[in-house]
A and B are shown apart, each in its own frame.
Chain A
Amino acid sequence: MLRAALPLLGLPLAGAGAAEEPTQEPGSWGEPPPGLTLFRWQWHEVEAPYLVALWILVASLAKIVFHLSRKVTSLVPESCLLILLGLVLGGIVLAVAKKAEYQLEPGTFFLFLLPPIVLDSGYFMPSRLFFDNLGAILTYAVVGTLWNAFTTGAALWGLQQAGLVAPRVQAGLLDFLLFGSLISAVDPVAVLAVFEEVHVNETLFIIVFGESLLNDAVTVVLYKVCNSFVEMGSANVQVTDYLKGVASLFVVSLGGAAVGLVFAFLLALTTRFTKRVRIIEPLLVFLLAYAAYLTAEMASLSAILAVTMCGLGCKKYVEANISHKSRTAVKYTMKTLASCAETVIFMLLGISAVDSSKWAWDSGLVLGTLFFILFFRALGVVLQTWMLNQFRLVPLDKIDQVVMSYGGLRGAVAFALVILLDRTKVPAKDYFVATTIVVVFFTVIVQGLTIKPLVKWLKVKRSEHHKPTLNQELHEHTFDHILAAVEDVVGHHGYHYWRDRWEQFDKKYLSQLLMRRSAYRIRDQIWDVYYRLNIRDAISFVDQGGHVLSSTGLTLPSMPSRNSVAETSVTNLLRESGSGACLDLQVIDTVRSGRDREDAVMHHLLCGGLYKPRRRYKASCSRHFISEDAQERQDKEIFQQNMKRRLESFKSTKHNICFTKNKPRTRKASRKKKDGVANAEATNGKPPRDLGFQDTAAVILTVESEEEEESDSSETEKEDDEGIIFVARATSEVLQEGKFSGSLEICPSPRIIPPSPTCAEKELPWKSGQGDLAVYVSSETTKIVPVDMQTGWNQSISSLESLASPPCTQAPTLTRLPPHPLGTEEPQAPLDLSSDPRPSFAFPPSLAKAGRSRSESSADISQQQELQPLMGHKNHTHLSPGTANSHWCIQFNRGGRL
């Protein structure tokens, strides 16, 4: 591949090559070296790949430099800058080497540079939007391109007949039509580069962009037909040739699309079976898509169309099949390749323009072409839009039409095609080359520069970036169903009817065939949105959790964002549910055994001593599997740290509350208040340690209505604020009770308790480590828990996928739990708390909020459950973390074993 790419870069880098060669040749290429040489300079062996890498590096560095100044890039599109840079570089090369080098070679362009860009745009094409506007897109792509080609060609010919083009441009009507066909096509690379920065509304974008992708088939056909006509000579063209030309339009376009779809099918099918070799998933995507491109190219079909359809067709299934990490890999690799290719294309375009040996200037031709492509583009758009608006639900207005006309950028495709012309058959080639370069430069630079101000000035509807909401997704689904039904009632088989048919077919057959069973099962768009929202919340939570914690120690990340009194924000709710697990943890400390104690000591020792080297402990590396990469581990770590700290601080406050009620604190978090209320109620007049059953019962009662909470809030606020002073007392009390004698030993260790939480708190994380709530514990715990638990641990924090894969319902969980009679001895119903831990993992317990606010009706049950679980009995620790759905089986030990 690199060898093949050589022509792209031509000869060795002029400066380096020229300077280097004379000095090295005696050593490496001259007479055999006398002996072992210390240094051997082997430039020629690495020349080709080296140059490729170097050019890409230069292009990338240029990009970085451009983006150093935000002001420049906000005014000037990157493509313009790159072309200008190319001009400069080309000039330098020309000056140094005395001849033009490193030009954009058509072969390289079509085989290596174009496919990544097209694949990227096809794969990430918003398919719904695309198909919603397919009619318009196809019209502009097919009718528009034909119109542009013929009118431009004919008008130029007319210009020549009128004597406005110099007679030295030897071209007939066919030559002009050929030129028209290559200059008329809107270029996907240029359009993408410019429109991505303009942010027009999505309908407008998809129409212009879709057109630029789909017109490839028309361009290719027109170009080939005209080219062969020119080569045959106009006299020899038969009527059948015209018919063949028309037929080839269908063959090339439909054939290209078919090739793409076949490969999309293969790709989807292949990824279904990659479960054990996840690591090659991204590779498969690229290989098969590239194979589609090459196959279409081989059969002289529309390769762009093939890749577009391949990307478009496979995405849904591939995304469902491959792992989350592979998805990220595919996304980034695709974007990297595309951006790389785009950069190189524009830069080489600039360099190529410097080569004056290819050019022959004719002002009449150049100016005429510029005028005609702009004029006929605008005229064509207006005519077609008028026609389309008869059928469109939302007509395209005048402003849209202006942008569409003006957005018809020409680019590297036209340039590559014109370079491919055969000078012997097309005598005017040099003039065409010059004209094409001017047209490309004019559209990319002038139009690219002005389109942004134009869009602003015309007040074109911009794209609004709004986050997906469940409501939108859900209701839009409803709308789809409604429209399909209405079309059925009306008896008119329109777009919605066929879309509905397709969805049925897809659901019944295609998805079953192409998707993994597991993926198929949970595959639903509504669920998808929910999943994405969850992940987003989780990420933002971790992001902001860090500083908030450090500043106040106990504040909730959600505080600043909370503005509604009702606290109905979803995120909050989720966070609350997350904190449910936290509550569990607190109560755990009532159960202790000798073994636990030992482990606790161990844990604290490890915690203090082994903290730093922890990262290294997993040094295994496999080529075939990514176990856990550093990034992920680090994320986890941050997360766990936060959790732990929060746990501890919460713990301490809680204990404090129990003992004193004097110091008012200025916490504003309503959540906190609530917690405070709950805690206060729970511990009113009781020793903190006894947070068991009866206390929880009390809690339940208190949380029943919001009003109650609010009324209590002032009181709780005060309570909240016991200092750490009381912690010690809590500890001692614990000790006095003799429940946990071991804690005495632990407490003295200064290292263990930096923030001075009680011993019980110290243990919490570790204990949970044994149980299911290990998530919250720093990963040291994994070292001291049995191996099977470690695997459980790893599984549990596997990735974000696991985060959302389980349907985590709070409500169902609640209802599912049978209200156990108090005091039952170890009912040990392994409750599927999958619902709980999940959100809790996502949203670290901001405070032990155990779904209090939400549990209006079922509060009592849930609260009991949450407060009473005892975990980590030796005999239960071996619960294997369950399936994807229920990783977390918590065993509730009712009676406690005090």
Chain B
Amino acid sequence: MLLRNEELEAIKKETGFSHSQIARLYKRFTTLDKEENGTLSREDFQRIPELAINPLGDRIISAFIPDGEDQVNFRGFIRILAHFRPIDAKSKDGNGSEPLNSRINKLRFAFQLYDLDKDDKISRSELLQVLHMMVGVNIPDEQLGVIADRTIQEADQDGDGAISFTEFVKVLEKVQIEQKMSIQFLD
């Protein structure tokens, strides 16, 4: 275990992972880190075979890597993963800040996968790109175009032809995000 204790505590506080979970994730992190320089590069992620065939794989890798950098350290890595912790009812952390795995933060993460230019809006072209990745070649472009149009119109409330984060949250308010954006982390 190469993590220092105070660092461990900080991570625990920030992410809500348990000690053993952090240890397990750290092990995974070092396994992925082929260059052994304490950071994960894009290539490290791409070496995960399943991720390579995930239609949104590239987007997700990008989500791990902070803006303007090309690598992510363990803190950043585990911070992202913390978004997917199941929501536990009792752990409302006292310091007022929203925990990383809150509903809104889960949604924010998903939203950012769409929002490439970070203008806090999913534009038609951004949506179309994601659609392209997800449905593959089965559906011709025109159909995707219609779907994208209709999707935007469905969510669009202020009429700007794009989906803002508020609209995104609104349109998904009936969805059990707690369940659909959480995975079970092993201890």
With an 8 A cutoff between CB atoms, is A810 at the interface?
yes
With an 8 A cutoff between CB atoms, is B149 at the interface?
yes
CA of A454 to CA of B113, assembled, Å = 43
A490 near B185 (CB under 8 angstroms)?
yes
**Please, which residues of chain B bring their CB within 8 A of the CB of A477?**
134
**Please, which residues of chain A bring their CB within 8 A of the CB of B171?**
469, 471-472, 475
- Closest Cβ of chain A: how far from B183's Cβ, in Å? 6
- Closest Cβ of chain B: how far from A558's Cβ, in Å? 13
**Please, which residues of chain A bring their CB within 8 A of the CB of B116?**
none
With an 8 A cutoff between CB atoms, is A573 at the interface?
yes
With an 8 A cutoff between CB atoms, is A737 at the interface?
no
With an 8 A cutoff between CB atoms, is A393 at the interface?
yes
Q: Which of A476, A483, A527 contacts B143 (CB 8 A)?
A: A527
**Please, which residues of chain B bring their CB within 8 A of the CB of A478?**
56, 110, 113-114, 130, 134
With an 8 A cutoff between CB atoms, is B139 at the interface?
yes
A394 near B176 (CB under 8 angstroms)?
yes
Residues of B in contact with A, size category? 35 or more
Given that A476-B180, A488-B54 are known contacts, is A570 also in contact with B154, CB under 8 Å in the complex? yes
A491 near B28 (CB under 8 angstroms)?
yes
A810 near B149 (CB under 8 angstroms)?
yes
With an 8 A cutoff between CB atoms, is A474 at the interface?
yes
Given that A475-B175, A486-B81 are known contacts, is A807 also in contact with B140, CB under 8 Å in the complex? yes
A484 near B147 (CB under 8 angstroms)?
no
With an 8 A cutoff between CB atoms, is A875 at the interface?
no
CA of A482 to CA of B154, assembled, Å = 23
Query: Which one, B3-11, B43-51, B92-100, is touching chain A?
Result: B43-51
A-B contact count (CB 8 A): 182
Given that A393-B182, A523-B138 are known contacts, is A484 also in contact with B131, CB under 8 Å in the complex? no
Residues of A in contact with B, size category? 35 or more
Q: Which of B153, B175, B181 contacts A569 (CB 8 A)?
A: B153
CA of A879 to CA of B28, assembled, Å = 63
With an 8 A cutoff between CB atoms, is B184 at the interface?
yes
- Closest Cβ of chain A: how far from B35's Cβ, in Å? 17
B150 near A530 (CB under 8 angstroms)?
yes
B145 near A500 (CB under 8 angstroms)?
no
CA of A132 to CA of B179, assembled, Å = 10
- Report B24-43 residues with CB < 8 Å from chain A CB: 25, 28, 31-32
A485 near B51 (CB under 8 angstroms)?
yes
B28 near A808 (CB under 8 angstroms)?
no
CA of A812 to CA of B147, assembled, Å = 12
With an 8 A cutoff between CB atoms, is A790 at the interface?
no
B131 near A475 (CB under 8 angstroms)?
no
B28 near A490 (CB under 8 angstroms)?
yes
- Report B63-90 residues with CB < 8 Å from chain A CB: 64, 81, 84, 86
With an 8 A cutoff between CB atoms, is B22 at the interface?
no
B174 near A464 (CB under 8 angstroms)?
yes
CA of A858 to CA of B113, assembled, Å = 29
With an 8 A cutoff between CB atoms, is A568 at the interface?
yes
**Please, which residues of chain B bring their CB within 8 A of the CB of A504?**
53
B134 near A481 (CB under 8 angstroms)?
yes
- Select the residue from A132, A477, A482 with max chain B CB neighbours within 10 A: A482
Q: Which of A132, A485, A533, A808 contacts B54 (CB 8 A)?
A: A485
B54 near A472 (CB under 8 angstroms)?
no
Given that A393-B184, A489-B81 are known contacts, is A476 also in contact with B175, CB under 8 Å in the complex? yes
B56 near A485 (CB under 8 angstroms)?
yes
- Closest Cβ of chain B: how far from A96's Cβ, in Å? 55
Q: Which of B135, B179, B182 contacts A524 (CB 8 A)?
A: B135
- Closest Cβ of chain A: how far from B60's Cβ, in Å? 4
B138 near A524 (CB under 8 angstroms)?
yes
- Closest Cβ of chain A: how far from B90's Cβ, in Å? 11
**Please, which residues of chain A bring their CB within 8 A of the CB of B56?**
478, 481-482, 485
In this complex, what residue of B is CB-closest to A466? B174
Interface string of A477-511 (1 = CB under 8 A from B): 11111111111111110111100100010000000
- Closest Cβ of chain B: how far from A571's Cβ, in Å? 9
B140 near A474 (CB under 8 angstroms)?
no
A471 near B143 (CB under 8 angstroms)?
no
B149 near A573 (CB under 8 angstroms)?
yes
B135 near A533 (CB under 8 angstroms)?
no
CA of A480 to CA of B110, assembled, Å = 11
CA of A476 to CA of B171, assembled, Å = 12
CA of A524 to CA of B143, assembled, Å = 11
A489 near B48 (CB under 8 angstroms)?
yes
Given contacts A471-B172, A489-B45, A811-B146, 7 further A-B contacts (CB under 8 A): A482-B113, A489-B48, A490-B185, A520-B138, A524-B135, A807-B140, A812-B141
A-B contact pairs, 9 of them (CB 8 A): A476-B175, A481-B55, A482-B109, A483-B180, A483-B183, A486-B60, A491-B32, A524-B138, A809-B142
Please name the 10 residue pairs, one residue from A and one from B, whose CB atoms are nearest each other, closest first: A807-B143, A566-B159, A809-B142, A812-B142, A570-B153, A488-B50, A485-B60, A809-B145, A481-B56, A471-B171
